[in-house]
Amino acid sequence: MSEPGRMSDAQEGAEEQSQEATSRGRAGRVPQYGLLIDYEYCTGCYACQVACAQEHQWPAGLSGIRVHEVVQNLPNDRAYLTYLPFPTELCVLCAARTRKGLLPACVQHCLAACMKYGRLEDLVKEMSKPRLVLWVPRA
């Protein structure tokens, strides 16, 4: 258990990754890794959001990914519910985990397997249908 006021190992890793990404961005480098999210298959289970918050020990209400519910009203009193998992500014692709060869927490715990982590050049090749989003952290 970490001391009050001290960052957890996961938070230190996230901050380190963020600082590395910022310094690379200033040097003109482009991020190499990202998330491919297939919105067609998200079931809205929130496992990604919970896993991220627990991995990084974020306070209640904060997470590196948030699941948004979108209700579309259709004719004849019908509705269409869509879930959109979307990384936040806190997301650093679980730098501490990925350095160890593990998947980011959100990808590891996604029950619908609708998220994939990898090299951008590989993920781009998989973008062959609608409702796919390639997310890359800010450099």
In a domain, 39, yes or no: yes
Range of the domain at 69: 9-135
CATH of residue 100: 3.30.70.20
Quick one: pLDDT at residue 16? 53
In a domain, 4, yes or no: no
Quick one: pLDDT at residue 9? 52
Q: For the chain, what is the domain count?
A: 1
Quick one: pLDDT at residue 27? 56
In a domain, 124, yes or no: yes
For the entire predicted model, the pTM comes to: 0.75
For the chain, 139 residues long, the average pLDDT of each consecutive 10-residue run is: 46 50 53 94 96 95 94 94 94 95 97 96 93 89
In a domain, 3, yes or no: no
In a domain, 78, yes or no: yes
Quick one: pLDDT at residue 13? 52
Long-range contact set of residues 126-132: C-beta below 8 Å, sequence gap at least 24:
126/36, 127/36, 129/40, 130/40, 131/38, 131/39, 131/40, 132/36, 132/37, 132/38, 132/39
